[in-house]
Every structure is written in C-alpha cells, then in structure tokens.
Amino acid sequence: MTATLFQPVKLNDTLTLDNRIVMAPLTRCMADNDLVPTDEMVAYYARRADSGLIISEATIIRPDGQGYPNTPGIYSEAQIAGWRRVTDAVHAKGGKIFVQLWHTGRVAHPHFFGGGDVMAPSAQRLEGTVPRMRELEYVTPKAASAEEIQQLVADYAQAAANAIEAGFDGVELHGANGYLIDQFLHFDTNRRDDEFGGNAQNMARFPLAVVDAVVARIGADRTALRLSPGAYFNMESDPRDREVFEYLLPKLEAFNLAYLHLGLFDDGMEFAHLDGSATDFVRQRYGKLLMGVGGFTPQSGSAAIEQGRFDLLAIGRPFIANPDYVAKVQAGDALTEYHEGMLAELV
C-alpha cells in the first residue's frame, strides 16, 4: 500500500530524490546562543538522511527575522560553517537537504535582536505572546518602506547564496504559516495602499520579487517555496485572499521551481473561500511538482500521490518520534507515536 512512496522522483536535471518521503521543516529551537547549529543537530539530521529530502528547520535570514528562541540563522560565517557540518553529515549518508529560509515578519520580537523595529507589510499587531517565552508580548510592527522591502529581497538572495556555500542542495523559501512572505499575501496582514498592497498583483509583488532574486542567484532548480493559501495560523482568513493566490500560482509555475510545498498542519482543513482544501485548490492551479503535508499516514499519503493530489509527501512530527521512519515504513514496522515530551531533546 506504500510502494508509491519508494519510487525515485526527478525534481529537475540537477536533483533526483531516492524516494517521495520528505522530512518536513520542524522548529526545534536547538541552536546555540549565536544561532549556530550544534553537534546534536548534526547527528539529528544525519539520522534521517534516508528520506528522499530533508527540509531543515526554519532558518532566519537576518537578525530581525527572529521570533523564537535559539532558532538557527544563516547570515554569519559561524552559522554557515555550522550548517556545513550538518550538510556534510547528511551527504555522507547519501541524503539530500534543503534549508528553509525564514523571516518571521510581525511574529518577530526585538528581545532577540537587541531592540529596534519589527518589520512587516503593515502596522498590524499580532495578539499574544512569544511561544516558549510567554513573558514577551508581541509588538506593533513597522510597515516596511519600499527601500526596506528591496533590502529584504536582497537579504533573501544573500541567504540563499550562503546556503549553497553551506552545502545545501537547495533552499525552500518559507512563504507560509503567517510569517513575512505570507503576511504580504493575505488581506488581514497586508493593509497597504501602495505597489505592495490593495490588490492581488500588488500583494504578490514582494513574494515574486523574492523568488525571482533567489532564482537569479542560485537557480530555479535549487529553489522551492512553501505557501499557505488558507490563512489559519497567526492571521485571520479573508475571502479576497483567493484572488491573490489565483494570480500568484500561474506566475510561480512559470519559474520551474524545484517544487511547491503546501503549508498546512492538517490537510483535512477546509476553507470556504477556497471551495474546500488548500491542497486541492493549489493542485487545480499548479501543474508542476507539488508537496503535500498535513497529518498523512504512509498509507493515506501514498494513496493521495496515486490520486494525483500531489507528488511528494512531507512528514513532520512522526519524524521526531521515528528517526528511522523511512526504514520502518518500507519494512511495514509499527511507528512510535509522537508526544509533546519528545520536543525536549533531539534524538
């Protein structure tokens, strides 16, 4: 019932994956105080190298992108060197690994970068407190100027170049889950009335500029993107969001990216303005390689691939509980069930 998962898949002329099982990005907050990957992280990723592809935990492109404690960066020489140890260990075991590039936008907090402005599309404050640091309340962000947006685009491109220097096989831009790129794509978080807001074309301008700059720097074959057409995390849904993604998806298809990745916690979620699931909404409008995610078992994920809903299956928390997830599935062995206590250590 899972044989489909173990078929190799060609992303492009540069990259072929040994199987269709992808380790999803999983924020673990285990970098050191300089946001450099640790020995434990090297071992953690190497143990999972038999997945077709590993997508690293979200990794910040510059200091003001940080919104959680001890999340790794890829903007300093020490961070690049630290990630090189990770990629070398994964490659030594025959694996492939992309880094997920991250700026949290209005979810960032000045506590992490010594004060200053939190950058976002609009001055729309997120209610609540920082996870793992409940004493920190979110602040009202600054609406980025056109010049600051141009700098952000340049910083994404530089982070992508840093990733290739660090030995990654490619990068996945985090454009989902209510973080910076996603904030530009939804009406709840983008209240701008300039060339970056107000309608679908303008709201897609910054995300497309980031993709374009990264593709120009490292190639489309090594560039991927994660998207959340349905707002469900760190923002509210708006029926007008549909127009933005109907405009965006054909533009993305023209780039010939390595893949497009859904940003979902649960594929079973339905959105009225999308006429159902975000996965099916995207599949109907994007004909290139698509990665599904969101609570799939090996059996249900394999069936979804056979049904044409997507081409690659990303697995999240079960990979925390099962470093040998791929081997277990292939052998038909029982999987260890994930529980929250497993977040406390890297296994």
Model confidence pLDDT, tens digit, residues 113-148: 999 999 999 999 999 999 889 899 999 999 999 999
Which residue type occupies 122? S
Angle between helices 146-165 and 205-218 (to 10 degrees): 30
Go through the chain and tell me how many residues it has.
347
| Number of C-beta neighbours around residue 129 at 10 A | 13
Whether residue 156 lies in the annotated active site: no
- Can you give the pLDDT at residue 1? 83
Q: Radius of gyration (Cα) for the chain, nearest Å?
A: 19
Q: Please write the tens of the pLDDT for every residue from 47-83.
A: 999 999 999 999 999 999 999 999 999 999 999 999 9
- Read off the pLDDT band of 20 (50, 70, 90): very high
Dist CA 34 CA 215 (whole Å): 28
**Second CATH level (architecture) for the domain 3-344:** Alpha-Beta Barrel (3.20)
Confidence of residue 232 (pLDDT cuts 50, 70, 90): confident
**pTM recorded for the entire structure:** 0.98
* pLDDT value at residue 344: 82
Please report the pLDDT score of residue 231 as a whole number: 85
Q: What percent of the chain has pLDDT over 90?
A: 96
Phi, psi of 288 (to 5 degrees): -90, -170
The catalytic residue among 68, 75, 156, 179 is 179
* Residue-wise pLDDT tens digits, 282-329: 999 999 999 999 999 999 999 999 999 999 999 999 999 999 999 999
DSSP string, 133-187: EEEEE--PPEEPPHHHHHHHHHHHHHHHHHHHHTT-SEEEEEE-TTSHHHHHTST
Query: How high is the pLDDT of residue 218?
Result: 98
Please state the rounded mean pLDDT for residues 214-235: 95
* pLDDT > 90? residue 213: yes
Mean pLDDT along residues 187-201: 98
Domain ranges of the chain: 3-344
- Indicate if the pLDDT at residue 259 is higher than 90: yes
> Is the distance from CB of 289 to CB of 220 less than 8 angstroms?
no
